[in-house]
């Protein structure tokens, strides 16, 4: 019997660099100097990834994301242009803290081909667990000269969606108590859990997280693969799709879906997938969860 080819991920996030202008207590950058470094992804890794995704006609979401601030990267616009040229049918998404985003910058990003900007308006560290402040959204909308839109109060965050031309801007004010300790990389005691994980995880069935070193991680919760090598699936220098569909990736998916976390950083992780993402991932199962 021929084994089916495992589908490409719906969502791929790429960490173009390590630098972030903030140091938030609920992020690994507050507990490491990694976020203060200015290490960038090697151009050969980035170009090779784009070529591989183009060759396989990737049409999902490619996100500039992870433990950095993409708009603080002086090469970001160039990377965005390269991604748009290579992946005409993909949806390009930016995750940002909004510090470097104003009306002119938003219009510029829209003209360069960005499809969506997810802006997370974080609280100050001393107000981390305060209720979400809706006025932060109002002030930010003024900053980007955006009007109207739709606001929703969700369990984990306040969300306001608006459009600037073709660019969809999703502004979020999070409820930090719903965050987790990133598999132990965050020392904020209130985000940790004493018990080991017993629930299955399907993140690796649906989403791919590639760090600045060019490594495919088990998921975005892995903060630093230099510190946590057990969180690495493979090196995309050998080809992202080859790693994504490798025997190791297949074995890891089976283990995660069966809640077999021995010798994996997942043992102490309590991240829970959104129901919509879980439903998508279950359709990709290669065996019973």
252-270, pLDDT tens digit by residue?
Answer: 999 999 999 999 989 888 8
List of residues 6+ apart from 126 with CB closer than 8 A = none
Cβ atoms within 10 Å of 43's Cβ, excluding its own? 12
**142 contacts 154 by C-beta, under 8 angstroms:** no
Q: What is the pTM of this model?
A: 0.92
More confident residue, 58 or 2: 58
Is pLDDT above 80 for 191?
no
> Over 90: is that where the pLDDT of 276 sits?
no
Average pLDDT value for residue range 85-112: 98
CA 214 to CA 42: how far, in whole Å?
A: 8
95 within 8 A of 64, measured Cβ to Cβ: yes
DSSP alpha helix (H) spans, 99-133:
103-111
Quickly list DSSP for 46-90.
Answer: HHHHHHHHHHTT--SEEEE-SSS-GGG-TTHHHHHHHHHHH-TTS
Matching residue, tokens 């979400």: 132
pLDDT tens-digit map of 229-244: 999 999 999 999 999 9
* Of 150-154, 157-161, 189-193, the least confident: 189-193
Which domains, from first to last, does the chain contain? 11-179 (3.20.20.70)
- Over residues 160-166, the mean pLDDT reads 97
**What digits encode the pLDDT tens for the residues 23-38?**
888 787 777 888 788 9
- The per-residue pLDDT of the chain, averaged, comes to 91
Whether pLDDT at 246 is above 50: yes
Is 285 in contact with 251 (CB distance < 8 Å)? no
Percentage of the chain with pLDDT > 90?
70
The predicted pLDDT at position 249 comes to 98
Long-range Cβ contact pairs of 104-107 (< 8 A, separation 24 or more): 105/71, 106/144, 106/146, 106/164, 106/167, 106/169, 107/164, 107/165
Beta-sheet pairing, 150-153 with 116-120? unpaired
Instruction: Look at residue 118 and tell me whether its pLDDT is greater than 50.
Output: yes
In the predicted model, is pLDDT for residue 286 greater than 80? no
DSSP code of 131?
P
Which of 39-48, 85-94, 172-181 is the least confident region?
172-181
CA distance 205 to 21: 32
Q: Has residue 91 got a pLDDT over 80? A: yes
CA 261/CA 167 separation, integer angstroms: 40
């Amino acid at each position: 019997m021929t084994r089916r080819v495992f589908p490409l991920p719906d969502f791929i996030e790429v960490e173009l660099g390590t630098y972030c202008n903030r140091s938030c207590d609920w992020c690994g950058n507050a507990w490491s100097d990694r976020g203060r470094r200015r290490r960038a992804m090697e151009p050969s890794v980035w170009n090779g990834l784009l070529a591989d995704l183009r060759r396989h006609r990737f049409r999902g979401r490619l996100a500039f994301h992870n433990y950095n601030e993409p708009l603080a990267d002086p090469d970001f616009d160039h990377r965005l242009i390269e991604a748009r040229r290579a992946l005409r049918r993909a949806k390009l998404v930016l995750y940002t803290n909004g510090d470097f985003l104003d009306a002119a910058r938003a219009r510029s990003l829209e003209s360069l081909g960005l499809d969506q900007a997810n802006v997370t308006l974080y609280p100050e560290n001393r107000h981390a667990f305060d209720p979400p402040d809706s006025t932060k959204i109002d002030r930010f909308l003024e900053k980007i000269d955006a009007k109207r839109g739709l606001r929703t109060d969700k369990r984990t965050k306040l969300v306001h969606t608006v459009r600037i031309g073709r660019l969809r801007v999703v502004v979020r004010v999070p409820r930090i108590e719903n965050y987790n300790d990133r598999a132990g990389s965050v020392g904020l005691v209130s985000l940790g859990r004493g018990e080991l994980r017993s629930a299955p995880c399907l993140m690796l069935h649906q989403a791919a997280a590639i760090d600045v070193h060019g490594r495919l991680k088990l998921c975005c919760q892995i903060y630093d693969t230099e510190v946590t090598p057990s969180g690495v699936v493979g090196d995309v220098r050998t080809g992202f799709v080859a790693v994504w569909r490798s025997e190791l990736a297949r074995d890891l998916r089976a283990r995660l879906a069966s809640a077999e976390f021995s010798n994996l950083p997942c043992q102490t992780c309590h991240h829970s997938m959104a129901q919509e993402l879980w439903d998508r991932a279950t359709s990709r199962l290669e065996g019973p969860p």
